[in-house]
Amino acid sequence: LLDLGAGSGYTSLRLAELGFDVHAYDVNTEQFQPPALSCTKIDLNRELPESDEKIQAILALEIIEHLENPQAFLREIARVLAPGGHCLLSTPNIASLPSRLRYLFRGEFTHFTGRSAACGIRFAMRPPAMYRPCFPGCFCFSSNGPASPSGGNGNWLPAGFP
């Protein structure tokens, strides 16, 4: 499981305690605290250091809004995600009242500026039908079809995922 933008490492540690083989990545590795785990320094605006179609699960919580090119990041996730693999991605709610007011007065969404403001949360590498809101501010996709938390292609997270 890749934890992209692992931050202080709390989520990585919790997932490791649940038995997942966690590979943490962050641009600021100094803040990563679990001594039993390692965190690799990486700029998520660049190519991920993983082979094509090899990763079963990817976690990207609250990081896409910080990237220069969210669409390129999503293409990288799609490249490394194995067939049948899953990605859980969350981002701030740009449809909120504060974000809408910022757009009205400044021409940009809260947390999305410049080029990324123009694309909002449009995902470039897969058909829109493959994305489903899992819960507010969180979008899930599966490499083998529409993701849903309640059925269909069913388990949009691996067994045991919290």
Task: Judge contact between 47 and 25, C-beta under 8 A.
Answer: no
pLDDT tens across 23-34, in order? Answer: 999 999 999 999
**Rounded distance between C-alpha atoms, residue 152 and residue 155, angstroms:** 8
Q: Six-digit token pair at 18?
A: 């649940």
Tell the burial category of 41 from Cβ atoms under 10 Å away from its Cβ (0-12, 13-18, 19+): exposed
Task: Judge contact between 4 and 34, C-beta under 8 A.
Answer: no
pLDDT of residue 65: 85
pLDDT tens across 88-140, in order? Answer: 998 877 777 887 888 788 877 655 444 433 333 333 333 334 444 444 444 45
**Rounded distance between C-alpha atoms, residue 126 and residue 11, angstroms:** 27
Residue 79 has pLDDT above 60, yes or no: yes
